[in-house]
Amino acid sequence: MNTRLRTGLFGILLASGLAGCGSNIVVDAASIPVPLVEKIPASIGIRIPVEFENFIHEERVIGREAWSISLGDSNVAFFTQLFGHMFNKVTVIGPADDATLLDIDALIEPSIEAFEFSVPNQSKTAAFAVWIRYRLKVYDRGGTEVANWPVSAYGKSQSTTMGGSDALQRAAILAMRDAAALIIIQLDKATGISLLVDAPKAVPDPAPLSFDINDDEVQATALEGLDDETG
Protein backbone atom coordinates (compact mmCIF):
# COMPACT_ATOMS: atom_id res chain seq x y z
CA MET A 1 0.00 0.00 0.00
CA ASN A 2 1.53 3.31 -1.06
CA THR A 3 2.08 6.25 1.28
CA ARG A 4 -0.68 8.41 -0.22
CA LEU A 5 -3.29 5.66 0.17
CA ARG A 6 -2.21 4.93 3.77
CA THR A 7 -2.44 8.64 4.57
CA GLY A 8 -5.92 8.86 3.08
CA LEU A 9 -7.18 5.86 5.06
CA PHE A 10 -5.66 7.23 8.25
CA GLY A 11 -7.48 10.53 7.69
CA ILE A 12 -10.82 8.74 7.22
CA LEU A 13 -10.32 6.66 10.37
CA LEU A 14 -9.30 9.72 12.36
CA ALA A 15 -12.33 11.66 11.20
CA SER A 16 -14.60 8.74 12.08
CA GLY A 17 -13.03 8.49 15.50
CA LEU A 18 -13.51 12.19 16.18
CA ALA A 19 -17.12 12.07 15.03
CA GLY A 20 -17.81 9.19 17.39
CA CYS A 21 -16.10 10.57 20.48
CA GLY A 22 -18.17 12.02 23.24
CA SER A 23 -18.75 12.46 26.94
CA ASN A 24 -21.03 10.41 29.16
CA ILE A 25 -21.99 12.28 32.32
CA VAL A 26 -23.90 10.90 35.27
CA VAL A 27 -24.93 13.92 37.31
CA ASP A 28 -24.37 13.56 41.05
CA ALA A 29 -27.22 14.37 43.42
CA ALA A 30 -27.36 18.05 44.26
CA SER A 31 -26.92 18.64 47.98
CA ILE A 32 -29.59 21.04 49.26
CA PRO A 33 -28.80 22.96 52.47
CA VAL A 34 -31.60 22.96 55.03
CA PRO A 35 -33.65 26.09 54.20
CA LEU A 36 -34.29 28.65 56.93
CA VAL A 37 -38.06 28.38 56.58
CA GLU A 38 -40.75 26.61 58.56
CA LYS A 39 -41.88 23.28 57.21
CA ILE A 40 -45.35 23.09 55.70
CA PRO A 41 -47.29 20.92 58.18
CA ALA A 42 -48.33 18.39 55.57
CA SER A 43 -47.75 14.77 54.67
CA ILE A 44 -47.08 14.41 50.97
CA GLY A 45 -46.36 11.71 48.46
CA ILE A 46 -43.94 12.01 45.54
CA ARG A 47 -44.81 9.96 42.49
CA ILE A 48 -41.75 9.23 40.35
CA PRO A 49 -42.63 8.62 36.67
CA VAL A 50 -40.48 6.07 34.81
CA GLU A 51 -39.23 8.61 32.27
CA PHE A 52 -38.25 10.98 35.08
CA GLU A 53 -36.25 8.36 36.97
CA ASN A 54 -34.49 7.26 33.78
CA PHE A 55 -34.04 10.69 32.17
CA ILE A 56 -31.04 10.91 29.81
CA HIS A 57 -30.39 13.82 27.47
CA GLU A 58 -28.33 13.00 24.36
CA GLU A 59 -27.10 15.62 21.92
CA ARG A 60 -24.33 16.18 19.40
CA VAL A 61 -22.95 19.71 19.62
CA ILE A 62 -22.44 21.41 16.24
CA GLY A 63 -21.83 18.05 14.59
CA ARG A 64 -18.81 17.40 16.77
CA GLU A 65 -18.81 15.92 20.23
CA ALA A 66 -21.72 13.78 21.39
CA TRP A 67 -22.90 14.27 24.95
CA SER A 68 -24.97 11.91 27.07
CA ILE A 69 -26.18 13.43 30.34
CA SER A 70 -27.96 11.22 32.86
CA LEU A 71 -30.12 13.08 35.39
CA GLY A 72 -32.53 10.37 36.50
CA ASP A 73 -31.13 9.14 39.83
CA SER A 74 -29.94 12.61 40.81
CA ASN A 75 -33.42 14.05 40.18
CA VAL A 76 -35.09 11.47 42.41
CA ALA A 77 -32.59 12.12 45.22
CA PHE A 78 -32.87 15.88 44.67
CA PHE A 79 -36.66 16.09 45.03
CA THR A 80 -36.77 13.58 47.89
CA GLN A 81 -34.25 15.65 49.85
CA LEU A 82 -35.82 18.98 48.91
CA PHE A 83 -39.36 18.03 49.93
CA GLY A 84 -38.00 16.37 53.06
CA HIS A 85 -36.76 19.84 54.06
CA MET A 86 -40.12 21.43 53.21
CA PHE A 87 -42.78 19.05 54.58
CA ASN A 88 -43.35 17.10 57.79
CA LYS A 89 -43.49 13.72 56.06
CA VAL A 90 -42.57 12.52 52.57
CA THR A 91 -43.43 9.17 50.98
CA VAL A 92 -41.93 8.21 47.61
CA ILE A 93 -44.12 6.01 45.43
CA GLY A 94 -43.78 4.40 42.04
CA PRO A 95 -45.81 5.16 38.91
CA ALA A 96 -48.15 2.21 39.42
CA ASP A 97 -48.89 2.84 43.11
CA ASP A 98 -52.35 4.10 44.10
CA ALA A 99 -51.76 7.32 46.04
CA THR A 100 -55.38 7.49 47.19
CA LEU A 101 -54.68 4.54 49.50
CA LEU A 102 -51.99 6.50 51.36
CA ASP A 103 -52.50 8.68 54.40
CA ILE A 104 -51.27 11.87 52.72
CA ASP A 105 -52.55 15.39 52.26
CA ALA A 106 -51.25 15.85 48.71
CA LEU A 107 -49.32 14.17 45.93
CA ILE A 108 -46.58 15.85 43.85
CA GLU A 109 -45.50 14.43 40.50
CA PRO A 110 -42.34 16.02 39.03
CA SER A 111 -41.24 15.79 35.41
CA ILE A 112 -38.63 17.35 33.12
CA GLU A 113 -40.28 19.29 30.35
CA ALA A 114 -37.10 20.62 28.72
CA PHE A 115 -33.34 20.33 29.10
CA GLU A 116 -30.76 22.40 27.21
CA PHE A 117 -27.06 23.06 27.57
CA SER A 118 -24.28 24.99 25.88
CA VAL A 119 -20.53 24.44 25.69
CA PRO A 120 -17.73 26.98 25.20
CA ASN A 121 -17.40 26.52 21.44
CA GLN A 122 -21.09 27.46 21.11
CA SER A 123 -21.18 30.45 23.45
CA LYS A 124 -17.63 31.62 22.60
CA THR A 125 -16.95 31.87 26.32
CA ALA A 126 -15.21 29.65 28.85
CA ALA A 127 -18.52 28.65 30.44
CA PHE A 128 -20.76 25.62 30.34
CA ALA A 129 -24.44 26.42 30.94
CA VAL A 130 -27.51 24.29 31.67
CA TRP A 131 -31.21 25.16 31.48
CA ILE A 132 -33.84 22.85 33.01
CA ARG A 133 -37.60 23.30 32.97
CA TYR A 134 -39.33 21.10 35.51
CA ARG A 135 -43.08 20.70 35.83
CA LEU A 136 -44.73 19.92 39.16
CA LYS A 137 -48.25 18.54 39.17
CA VAL A 138 -50.05 18.61 42.50
CA TYR A 139 -53.00 16.36 43.36
CA ASP A 140 -55.28 16.35 46.40
CA ARG A 141 -55.73 13.21 48.50
CA GLY A 142 -58.60 12.09 46.29
CA GLY A 143 -56.43 12.17 43.15
CA THR A 144 -57.79 15.37 41.60
CA GLU A 145 -55.18 17.62 39.96
CA VAL A 146 -55.19 21.01 41.67
CA ALA A 147 -52.04 22.66 40.27
CA ASN A 148 -49.67 22.39 37.30
CA TRP A 149 -46.60 24.54 37.82
CA PRO A 150 -43.57 24.99 35.50
CA VAL A 151 -40.23 25.69 37.20
CA SER A 152 -37.37 27.07 35.08
CA ALA A 153 -33.79 26.90 36.34
CA TYR A 154 -30.31 27.89 35.15
CA GLY A 155 -26.74 27.02 36.09
CA LYS A 156 -23.34 28.06 34.72
CA SER A 157 -19.83 26.83 35.44
CA GLN A 158 -16.45 27.99 34.14
CA SER A 159 -14.33 25.42 32.30
CA THR A 160 -11.14 27.27 33.24
CA THR A 161 -11.17 25.74 36.72
CA MET A 162 -12.18 22.15 35.78
CA GLY A 163 -12.49 19.78 32.82
CA GLY A 164 -15.38 19.94 30.38
CA SER A 165 -17.34 17.00 31.82
CA ASP A 166 -16.88 18.24 35.38
CA ALA A 167 -17.85 21.78 34.39
CA LEU A 168 -21.04 20.62 32.66
CA GLN A 169 -21.97 18.45 35.64
CA ARG A 170 -21.36 21.40 37.95
CA ALA A 171 -23.62 23.59 35.79
CA ALA A 172 -26.38 20.96 35.99
CA ILE A 173 -26.10 20.80 39.78
CA LEU A 174 -26.24 24.59 40.02
CA ALA A 175 -29.38 24.57 37.86
CA MET A 176 -30.99 22.06 40.22
CA ARG A 177 -30.10 24.26 43.19
CA ASP A 178 -31.60 27.23 41.36
CA ALA A 179 -34.82 25.23 40.97
CA ALA A 180 -34.70 24.33 44.67
CA ALA A 181 -34.52 27.98 45.69
CA LEU A 182 -37.53 28.86 43.54
CA ILE A 183 -39.55 25.88 44.77
CA ILE A 184 -38.84 26.68 48.42
CA ILE A 185 -39.95 30.28 47.99
CA GLN A 186 -42.84 29.93 45.54
CA LEU A 187 -44.32 26.40 45.78
CA ASP A 188 -47.10 27.15 48.23
CA LYS A 189 -48.00 30.44 46.55
CA ALA A 190 -48.03 28.85 43.09
CA THR A 191 -49.91 25.67 43.99
CA GLY A 192 -51.78 26.34 47.24
CA ILE A 193 -50.57 23.00 48.57
CA SER A 194 -50.88 24.05 52.23
CA LEU A 195 -54.63 24.46 51.73
CA LEU A 196 -54.88 20.71 51.15
CA VAL A 197 -53.78 19.87 54.69
CA ASP A 198 -56.54 17.92 56.47
CA ALA A 199 -58.92 18.59 53.58
CA PRO A 200 -61.61 15.88 53.46
CA LYS A 201 -61.19 13.23 50.82
CA ALA A 202 -63.79 13.54 48.11
CA VAL A 203 -66.45 10.87 48.43
CA PRO A 204 -68.14 9.71 45.22
CA ASP A 205 -71.87 10.30 44.95
CA PRO A 206 -73.81 7.24 46.08
CA ALA A 207 -75.47 5.18 43.40
CA PRO A 208 -79.21 5.80 43.10
CA LEU A 209 -81.31 3.35 45.08
CA SER A 210 -82.97 0.67 43.02
CA PHE A 211 -86.04 -1.31 44.10
CA ASP A 212 -87.00 -4.48 42.30
CA ILE A 213 -90.78 -4.46 42.75
CA ASN A 214 -93.16 -6.51 40.69
CA ASP A 215 -95.65 -4.37 38.72
CA ASP A 216 -98.53 -6.62 39.74
CA GLU A 217 -97.70 -6.06 43.41
CA VAL A 218 -97.62 -2.29 42.92
CA GLN A 219 -100.98 -2.37 41.15
CA ALA A 220 -102.53 -4.59 43.86
CA THR A 221 -101.28 -2.27 46.60
CA ALA A 222 -102.72 0.73 44.82
CA LEU A 223 -106.09 -0.99 44.41
CA GLU A 224 -106.13 -1.92 48.07
CA GLY A 225 -105.57 1.69 49.02
CA LEU A 226 -108.35 2.76 46.64
CA ASP A 227 -110.74 0.23 48.18
CA ASP A 228 -109.98 1.64 51.63
CA GLU A 229 -110.79 5.13 50.50
CA THR A 230 -114.05 4.19 48.77
CA GLY A 231 -115.25 1.67 51.29
- Taken in order of first residue, the domains within the chain and their CATH numbers are 16-225 (3.40.50.10610)
Residue 91: predicted pLDDT: 95
Query: Rounded to whole angstroms, how far apart are CA atoms 192 and 169?
Result: 33
Residue 226: predicted pLDDT: 42
Query: DSSP alpha helices (H): ranges in 119-206?
Result: 120-123, 164-191
Query: Rounded to whole angstroms, how far apart are CA atoms 41 and 61?
Result: 46
Residue 42: predicted pLDDT: 94
**How does pLDDT run across 33-79, given as a tens digit for each residue?**
888 889 999 999 999 999 999 999 998 876 567 889 998 889 999 99
Residue 33: predicted pLDDT: 86
DSSP one-letter string for 23-81: EEEEPPPPP-PPPSSPPEEEEEEEE--HHHHT-EEEEEGGGS-EEEEE-HHHHHHHHHH
Query: Rounded to whole angstroms, how far apart are CA atoms 168 and 158?
Result: 9
Q: Which residue ranges of the chain lie beneath pLDDT 70?
A: 1-22, 62-64, 123, 160-163, 199-231
pTM for the full predicted model: 0.74
Residue 153 · residue 175 · CB < 8 Å: yes
Query: Rounded to whole angstroms, how far apart are CA atoms 142 and 149?
Result: 19
